[in-house]
Structures are given as C-alpha cells and as structure tokens.
Amino acid sequence: MQNAVIAQQLSEAIEDNSFFIEEAYNQEPRLVQHITNMMYRMNPEHEFTFTFTQEWPVATETHQLSYTLSFLTLNSNLTHGIGDIVINYRHQLSTKTSWAAISPRMSLILPTGDSEKGLGNGVFGVQAVIPASKRITDHFFCMRMRGEQFFLLGKEGLLRGRRWNGR
C-alpha cells in the first residue's frame, strides 16, 4: 500500500515539473516557484547561460506573472554580463481535469543585455507560447508547445521572428 502512495506522489510530481518543455500549469495560490536553468555549450567559445525565473500566482491560479533574468558568458569568458529581461503573463485556459491543460503565455522582452557584446537583442521583443499537457495513462504523459517570437527592428518598425515547436 505504501508503495502505491509513493508511486502516485512521484507520478504527480513528474507531471508538474517538466525539465524538457514548458509545462501548461500555473502556480497554486500563495505559492511562488523559483526556476533556475544552466546551459554550457562545449563549442570552441565555451558559452555558458544561467537563467533565473520567479513565478507568482495573481489572485487565483488562473492568472500568473513571472520574470526571467539571465547571465551569459561568451567567447571563453572574455564577454560576460546580464542578458535581456523577460516579463511573462500566463492564463490557465484549461486545467488537467479538462481534456488537456492549456496555459498560453505572452512575454515582453526588455533589451537590457548589451547587444554589441552579444548579450542581448538590443530591441524590444514579444513572445507568444501555447503549451499543452495531457496525462495519457498513470505512467505516460505528453506535452506539446508552439511558440512565436518577434523583435522590433530599428526605426522602420519592422519585425523579425522565430518560430519553434516543442515535444
């Protein structure tokens, strides 16, 4: 009996803590989540990126605000500093008790990183992401994500974009 309880707790924990793709869940009321990510690229420049995100529920679990700060080391540590700051709003459109959990996110990218050193984009940007999460069985869980990212280019007001899919 105790093994079944432990297995259920582990299964629920894995469902709500994805390391590979953005999850489709907001934070529970009165809980703040701190997320850190690190990436080291073993290319000739030995690039390192560290991000810190803090997520807060706003009034209810339906609305969530968060921010992401980044620190980058480029060119074998010859260039390092703060990257662009990202401010996020997420709306819990449907929950895991529905067919699938869906939680669209809109983000504003603030040009705080030094673009001349490669630490930022140098212009304001926006992201729109739609993650979806679905439990198939007690031991199998699927996540899917679709996103778009745009940056303002100069005085002309043109946009350049990047699209991604996640599984």
Tell me the residue type at 116: E
Contacts of 40 (CB under 8 A, 6+ apart): 46, 47, 48
83-115 confidence digits (pLDDT tens): 999 999 999 888 777 788 888 999 999 999 999
Confidence band (pLDDT; 50, 70, 90) for 62? confident
Phi, psi for 108 (deg, rounded to 5): -110, 125
Three-state helix/strand/coil letters over 121-149: CCCCEEEEEEEEEEECCCCCEEEEEEEEE
Q: Which residues contact 11 (CB under 8 A, 6 or more apart)?
A: 138, 139
Residue 133 neighbours by CB under 8 Å, 6+ apart: 15, 18, 23, 24, 25, 96, 100, 101, 102, 141, 142, 143
Q: What is the tens place of the pLDDT at every residue in 20-41?
A: 456 666 777 778 888 899 999 8
What pairs with residue 65 in β-bridges? 56, 89
Token pair for 1: 């009996």
Check pLDDT > 90 for residue 140: no
- The whole-number pLDDT of residue 160 equals 60
CA-to-CA separations, 66 to 33, 43, 72, 151, in angstroms, rounded: 9, 31, 20, 20
Nearest to 109 by CA among 165, 148, 140, 81: 148
Q: Which residues is 36 bridged to in the sheet?
A: 52
Q: How many Å apart are CA 48 and CA 40, to the nearest integer?
A: 4
**Predicted local distance difference test score (pLDDT) of residue 29:** 77
The per-residue pLDDT of the chain, averaged, comes to: 80
